[in-house]
Amino acid sequence: DAKTTQPTSMDCAEGRAANLPCNHSTISGNEYVYWYRQIHSQGPQYIIHGLKNNETNEMASLIITEDRKSSTLILPHATLRDTAVYYCIVSGANFGNEKLTFGTGTRLTIIP
Amino acid sequence: NAGVTQTPKFQVLKTGQSMTLQCAQDMNHEYMSWYRQDPGMGLRLIHYSVGAGITDQGEVPNGYNVSRSTTEDFPLRLLSAAPSQTSVYFCASSFGRRNQPQHFGDGTRLSIL
């Protein structure tokens, strides 16, 4: 399974875009990049996922580099409610959710 | 839709007691799983199920049993509680096993004295 590397913590000013990086240099061609977040010990919440192309939904945008070795999650207008731990996870097309590995993620703090 | 519902939200047990953590989902999801999360750590998979009647072990299965008699329910049983099982337990479900986002419950906070 491809491993991911994320910064331990980040701060972002309220109202600004929060850009969370993730390195997955050993990712293979059929592995997806998933992002989840966990707000104050609640259950993790799915945000977005992608394979090659950039993706956008109502919560965030996901930018995957052309070589797919890294990605960035973008929260376009961060609010205080976006303070959470964000997990970047790589998941293969040939195995299931039982292979997902939730590391320690990035603790994002939104500053008023 | 209620999503994934876990009960109880909090529980305190004595060493050696047994109990069942309940998990139910109303989204007709085939895949369900149980995780534990210890302080400052990520989630670790305990057991999972790809459909009614089918279960398998995850990363940390010892001390826990599961069964899946219906699509909706996936209870987790602690056979003889130990202090090392003090943790927050999360149940999750997804439409399928592959390339499907998981939906998580709010967790059960369990303390073993």
If you count residue pairs, one on A and one on B, with CB atoms under 8 Å apart, how many are there? 63
Question: What are residue A91's DSSP bridge partners?
Answer: A32
Per-residue pLDDT of chain B (113 residues; tens, 9 = 90+): 679 999 999 999 999 999 999 999 999 999 999 999 998 888 999 999 999 999 999 999 999 999 999 999 999 999 999 999 999 999 999 998 777 889 999 999 999 99
Task: Name the residue among B43, B96, B100 with its Cβ closest to that of A102.
Answer: B43
Query: Length of chain B, please?
Result: 113
CB A100 within 8 A of CB A2: no
Q: What pLDDT does residue A31 have?
A: 86
Tens of pLDDT, residue by residue over A52-111, are 889 999 999 999 999 999 999 999 999 999 999 999 998 866 667 777 888 889 999 999
Geometric angle at alpha carbon A73, from A18 and A24, rounded to 5° = 130
Do residue B105 and residue A45 have CB atoms under 8 angstroms apart? no
Residue A98's SS3 state is helix
Identify the weakest region by mean pLDDT among A2-6, A10-14, B9-13: A2-6
Q: Which amino acid is at B38?
A: D
